[in-house]
Structure 1
Amino acid sequence: MSDTPGWASPGSPAPQDHGSGQDDRPPADPAPQQPPAGHPAQPQGWTTAPPPQGPPGWGTTPPGGPQQTWGAPQPGWGQGQAGWGQGQNGGWGGWRGWHPHLFVAKPGVIPLRPLGVGEILDGAVTTARTHWRTVLTVALGIAVITQLISTLAMHYWLGDSDGLAALEDNPNPTDAEIRDALADLFAFTSITGLITLLGTVLATAMLTMVVGRAVLGRSVTIGEAWQDSRSRLPRLLGLVLLVPLAAGLAVGIPVLLAALTGSPGLTAAVAIAGIVFAIWLWISSSLAAPALILERQGVVASLRRSFKLVRGSWWRVFGITLLSVLLITVVGGIMEIPTSLIAGWVSGDGGGNPFEASSTDLSSWAYLVVSGIGAVISSTLTLPISAGVTALLYIDQRIRREALDIELARSAGVSPSGTPES
C-alpha cells in the first residue's frame, strides 16, 4: 500500500526460496542503535547494553535485551570468544534462560515474528475486537445487503415457480416439469451465488486492508478501507473466479474422459485424483488474495506469490486453513441452526413439526426473515475471522521467508527488538 510501506515486493530483490517451512529467513540485521551522547561507541559485534557488573559465571539476563533479534549471532557472544562464550569459566554463560521472542516488537495485533497457530487465530479475533467499528460495520453491511437480495429472490422467484410447485404437488412429475424446476432452481442459485460472491470479494478486500493496518498498530476508517481497496476489486474478482474455473477444468475434463471409457474403476480413480489436485490447488493459491491486495499485484503475479510462499509449508498452511474453516463452520452453525428451527416453527402449518418439510413454507416471509437474521449474524461474525486468518497467515509466511518483520517494524517506527526508533 502506498501508505504502509513494507508490503510491496516488485522492484526489490526476489527472496530466495529455500523450500522449507522453517524459519529460513536471510540473516539481515537492522542497523544498531547509536550510543547516547558522551558515551564511546561499542566495539563491533557488541550490543549497546553491556551486561551488569557481577561475579564471573553468573547467568543474569542483562537489562534491555539484545538490539539485534533476528540476525545471526554476532562475534563475541557465544561463539567461543574468551570471557564471553558458552563453555568458558568466566563471562556470562550465553544469558541462560533468555529467548529472543520475549523481546520482539508488537506495535499492533501480532508480535513481529513467526506466528503460532493460536497467535494467528487470536490476531484475527483481536483485529475484530480492536477495530470493531470498521470491521463489524463492513461485515454487517455486506451481510445485510446480500441476505436481503437472497431473501427477495427466494420469496418472489422460488415462491412463484411453477416447476417447483409441480414437483411439490405431483409425486410423479413429467420430464418437462423436472426440467422447469431445475431451470428455476439453477437461476435462483446463480443469482444468489453471484451476489454472495460479490459480497465476499468486497468484504475480503476491505477487511484485509484493515488487518494490514492493524498489524502496524494503525486504525482505519471505513472510507479509508474502501479508498485503498476499491481499485483492487476487479482483479480480486477475477482471481476468485479463475481458481475455481481452473480447478473445475483440470478435474472435470479428465473425469469426463475416463467416464467415456466405460470403466467405473478408472473413473473413480481419476475422480479421487482430481479431488486431491483440487485441494492442493486451493491451498497453494490461498494466499493470492492478500498478495493481490497488500502488494498490489496482478492476478497471475499474486498466484505466483502464493505458490512461492506456500511451497515447502503446504501442510502447515493446509492445517491452519482447515482449522479456520472448521471454526467458521461451528460459529456459523451455532448462529444459524437455532434461528432455522425457530423459523420452521413460526412458519409451520398451525405450529407443525419444523423438521418436516411438508409443514414448513420455505418461501414464506416468516421463515425467510427469521432464518435471514441468523444468516446475517453468522456472516457478520465469520467474515472477519476468515479474512483475518488468511491475511495473517500470508504475513506469517512472509516473515518466515523474507524477514518482513524487520520492514514492518521500521514502518511502525519501532526496532525489531521492541524499542522505539529514534
Structure 2
Amino acid sequence: MSDTSGRGPQAPYGAPPGPYGAPPGWGWNGYGWTPPPPPPKPGVIPLAPLGANHVIGGAFATMRRYAKPLFGTAAAAYGLLALVVVVGGALAYVATREHIRVLHETGADFSWDDGRPILVAFGLAWLVFMLATLVVNSFIQAACAATLHEAVLGRPATFGAVWRRAWSRTPSVLAVTLLLSVVLMLPVAAFALLFLSLLFLMMTQSLIPIGLVFPLFLVTLPLAAWLYVLFALAPAAAALETAGPFTALRRSVRLVRGAWWRTFGISLLAGLIVMGVSLALRLPLQFTAPAPPPVDPDDSASAYFLDQLRSQFGLFALFSLVATFITQLAASVFLPLVTALLYIDRRIRKEGLAHTLAQAESPQGS
C-alpha cells in the first residue's frame, strides 16, 4: 500500500482498473446460460464490489478472526491513555494540594487565590487528556487499517507487526482526525450558541439572538454532515496508502464523489449497531443502580453531594466501568473497520482494486 493516486509502485492497493467485466467463456453455451464463477474470497470479504452486508459482515469477521491483534492493540492503547490520565491527575493534585486543603477546611469561603491554581492545573491535565485521546484514537484507526490489510487477503497479522505499522501511520491519521474534529465542532458550537440564545431569551424576552442563531444551526448541521462524510475515508487512505493528510483528504473526496448517500447510509448503520450494543449492555445496569439516599433538609449541599457520590460507588460502579470499557473498545475497532472496508469498496468500484488484490493473493502475485 504505497502510492496514493495511481503513480509509482503500488502493491497491492494502487493498481490501475482491473478486468471486472465478463471474461471469455461466460455466456450462452449449447445447454444454456453459464453463470459467472463467484469472485475469489481469500479473506474476510469477496474481491468484488461490496454490498452493505459484505461491509458489516467483513467488519465482524475481522473482529472475530483477528481479535488478538485488534483488541490487544486497542486495549494496550487505552491502557496507556489511562496511565496518562492517572499521572496527569496526580501531578495536578500534588501541585495544588495546599490550595485544595484550604478550600476544604470547615467554614472556608471560595477564594480565587486558591481556586485559580486548581482550575489551571486540572485544566492543563484535561487538555493533555484530550490530546492523548486524539492520539490514541488515531493510533487505533491505523491499527484497524493495518489489520484489515492482511485480513482482506487472509494473511496472519501479529500484535507486533500491527503495532509497528499503526504507529508509523499515526501522525498522518492524527492530522486527518484533527480536521474531522474541527468539522464536527461546527454544529456543536452552533448548538452551544443556540442554548445561550435561549437563556438570553428567557432572561430578556428578546427574540433577536435566537432568530439569528437558529438559522445558523440549521445551516451548520447539514454542512458538517456533508463535509464529514466527504472526508470519512481519509483516515483509511492515510493508513492504507501511506498518504499524507492532505493527499488522504483529496483521495477521500474523489472516492466518495458519486456515493455520498451510500457512504452515509452504511456509516449510519454501523453507528446504530454500536448504539444498540451499548444499550444492550447499559440498560440492564440501570435496573440495578442503587437508589439515591433520601434528602435531609438539615444537610448542607456539599454533604448531600458527597452522599450521592458514595451511593454510586461499589459493584455498580465497577460493572458500569467494565460495560463502558467494552462498549468503547468495540466501537473504536468496529467503526474504523467499516470505514476502511468502505474505502476498499470504493477503490474496487472506481479503480479495479479487486484485480490487484487477486493478483497479490495468488502465488504469482505474492
Give TM-score, length-normalised by structure 1.
Answer: 0.65
SS across alignment from 1:360? helix
Aligned mates of 1:357, 1:394 — CA distance in 2: 49
Q: Does 1:306 align with 2:252?
A: yes
Superimposed CA distance per residue, residues 377-403 of structure 1 (whole angstroms, 9 cap, x where no aligned partner): 223322221221111111111111111
Q: What amino acid is aligned across from residue 263 of structure 2 in structure 1?
A: V
Amino acid at match of 2:360: S
Cα distance change, pair 188–139 in 1 and its aligned pair in 2 (3 A): same
Task: Describe the superposition over 1:186-236 as per-residue Cα deviations: whole angstroms up to 9, x where unpaired.
Answer: 556434333322221111111210011110111111111122222211121
Q: CA deviation at 1:272?
A: 1.0
| Matched positions, count | 333
Moved more, 214-223 or 129-138: 129-138
Quote the Cα distance in structure 1 between the aligned partners of 2:209 and 2:33.
Answer: 67
* Conserved 8 A contact 2:18-2:353: no
Residue type at the aligned position of 1:391 = A
State the partner residue of 1:272: 218
Deviation at 1:323, TM superposition (A): 1.1
In structure 2, the residue matched to 1:109 is 44
Q: Could you say which residue in structure 1 is the equivalent of 2:167? A: 230
Whether the 8 Å contact between 1:113 and 1:405 is mirrored in structure 2 is yes
Secondary structure at the counterpart of residue 94 of structure 1 = strand
Distance 2:187 2:223 in 1: 8
* Mean CA deviation greater in 119-128 or 132-141: 132-141
Distance in 1 of aligned mates of 2:123 and 2:345: 40
From the superposition, tell whether residues 152 and 337 of structure 1 become closer, same or farther in structure 2 (CA, over 3 Å).
farther
Which amino acid in the other structure matches residue 349 of structure 2? R
Partner Cα separation in structure 1 for residue 282 and residue 154 of structure 2: 34
Once the two structures are superposed, the pairs formed by residues 182-221 of structure 1 within 5 Å of their partners are 187=124, 189-221=126-158
CA contact (8 A) 1:209 1:228 kept: yes
CA apart distance, 1:151: 6.2
Matches within 5 A, 1:161-172: none
2:327 is aligned with what amino acid? S
Check conservation: 1:209, 1:225, Cα contact below 8 A. yes
Conserved? CA contact 2:183–2:224, under 8 Å: no
Structure 1 residue 277 displacement after superposition: 0.6
- The aligned counterpart of 1:44 is none
* Cα distance between partner residues in 2 of 1:154 and 1:327: 34
Shift in Å at residue 118 of structure 1? 1.7
Q: Which AA in structure 2 matches 1:282? A: Y
Match of 2:362 among 413, 419, 422: 413
Residue 268 of structure 1 aligns with an amino acid whose one-letter code is: F
Aligned residue type for 1:243: L
d(CA) in 2 for partners of 1:156 and 1:364? 24
- Matched letter for residue 193 of structure 1: M
CA displacement 1:299-320 (0-9 Å, x = unmatched): 1010000011111110110011
1:244 aligns with 2:181: yes
Unaligned runs of 5+ in 1: 15-25, 30-69, 79-83, 86-90, 351-355, 415-419
Q: Which amino acid aligns with 1:71?
A: G
Offset from partner CA, 1:274-318 (integer Å, 9 cap, x none): 111111111111100110111111110100000111111101100
Paired residues of 1:247 and 1:281 also in contact (CA < 8 A): no
1:27 Cα deviation from its structure 2 partner: 7.4
Distance (Å, rounded) in 1 between the aligned partners of 2:230 and 2:306 = 40
Aligned residue for 1:37?
Answer: none
Task: Say which SS state the counterpart of residue 258 (structure 2) adopts.
Answer: coil
Query: Greater relative contact order (Cα 8 A, min sep 6): structure 1 or 2?
Result: 2
1:141 aligns with 2:76: yes
The letter of the residue matching 1:94 is W
Preserved CA contact (<8 Å) 2:229 2:264:
yes
**Which of the residues 260, 263, 270 maps onto 1:324?**
270
User: Identity rate of aligned residues, in percent?
Assistant: 31
